[in-house]
Amino acid sequence: MAAGFAGVGAGFTANILIAGTDVLLSGISTEVVRTMDPEMSVMVTDNWFFMSASAVMLLIICTVVTERVIEPRLGKYNPKYGAKDYVGQDIENVGPKESKALKIAGLVGAVYIGLVLLLIAPENGVLRGENGSIVDSPFLSNIVPLLLFLFLSVSIAYGVAVGVIKSTRDVPEMMAEAIKSMAGYIVLIFAAAQFIAYFDWSNIGVWIAVSGAEFLESVNMTGVGVLVGFIFLTTLLNLFIFSGSAQWALMAPVFIPMFMLLDYHPAVVQLAYRIGDSSTSVITPMNPYVPMVLAFMKKYDSRAGFGTLFSVMLPYTLVILALWVILFIVWTGFELPIGPGVTDYKGE
């Protein structure tokens, strides 16, 4: 359970594939960037290379910490402290109907991906951009609907195969039920957009950015150290503001312009934020999933409390944050691209 929470929480922003996090954060970053440069954008792929490498690194870190630190500390499990319904659970095998449905869903998914590839592979493909570009193309700018239809096609195929979906009316009803959980997210995005617009209208963000940039230059703090400091500031604020998008909506209007005045590419500022925001997600009391994980823990060990959970998750946070910062310093030190075309990001 600790390993799962660490992977989902402390490393949630690191993905090999382009994910919703990339779309959400780059959208906020672009809105802020255009208050400084109307022609500039932060692409969904701008952190891709670094985050892909981070996913591999975090996989190794979480495995080692779990086996070498967490398991020995927990000791031998005593089932007398667990609920009988949970301790005595048996693993349910996948039945023939579910197995067949999974194969059908997998086939539908493969066909869908194949069709998308056919629209990308040719140099004059419909989903390619100008001059055959893939980075700045309809494919990446429309990655959200493309992923939506992928999961829709796979899930509908599975639902029909197992008999859960019996008519076309079932699909919109299921989607409406699922969208209820996104109501808070929609309200959050509305508030974030108003916040960014207010910063643009009032010029408060520009004033803070210019003042902050002048201060950093006056103390000669313009190298990678200032970005590392920004990472640690993010980890601190993350203990009080959990939502990654909400926190970025608050920080981006101030720090992106400030770092742009120091000649940093906004994508590297966004990257530094993602490192700090992810690392401490599993130890912040503001995380709504903390009580949920604790509730599951108590099903297996009634003695577990918040102290138990945080003591178990703290090693993940410390090791992940330390090694992630080291990777960031090495990556920027060698001036490796953090995403396609994003190489000129180091402030002088």
Query: Per-residue pLDDT tens for 258-286?
Result: 888 888 899 999 999 999 989 888 888 77
- Do 158 and 103 form a contact (C-beta atoms < 8 A)? no
C-alpha to C-alpha distance for 319 and 171, rounded to whole angstroms: 44
Q: Whole-model pTM?
A: 0.74
Top pLDDT among 149 and 140 is at: 149
pLDDT tens for each residue of 104-145: 999 999 999 999 999 988 888 888 877 777 767 788 778 778
C-alpha to C-alpha distance for 252 and 29, rounded to whole angstroms: 7
Left, alpha or beta for 272 (phi > 0: left; psi -120 to 50: alpha)?
Answer: alpha
**Arithmetic mean of pLDDT, 278-300:** 81
Q: Report which listed range, 16-25, 107-116, 193-202, is most confident.
A: 107-116
Residues in the chain: 348
How is the chain split into domains, by residue range?
2-92+182-333
- The CA-CA-CA angle for residues 241, 64, 243, to 5°, reads 10
Phi, psi torsion values for 170, nearest 5 degrees: -70, -35
- Which runs of consecutive H residues, i.e. helices, occur in 121-203? 138-141, 143-162, 170-179, 183-202
Identify the weakest region by mean pLDDT among 43-52, 106-115, 243-252, 315-324. Answer: 243-252
C-alpha to C-alpha distance for 313 and 306, rounded to whole angstroms: 11
Q: How many CA atoms lie within 13 A of 103 on its CB side?
A: 6
Reading the block at residue 190, the tokens are 């509305």
Reading the block at residue 287, the tokens are 């995380």
Residue 19: band (very low, low, confident or very high) from pLDDT cuts 50, 70, 90: confident
C-alpha to C-alpha distance for 108 and 125, rounded to whole angstroms: 22
Instruction: Please state, as a whole number, how many other Cβ atoms lie within 10 Å of the Cβ of residue 100.
Output: 14
Is 204 in a helix, a strand, or coil? helix
C-alpha to C-alpha distance for 215 and 192, rounded to whole angstroms: 27
Reading the block at residue 181, the tokens are 């959980």
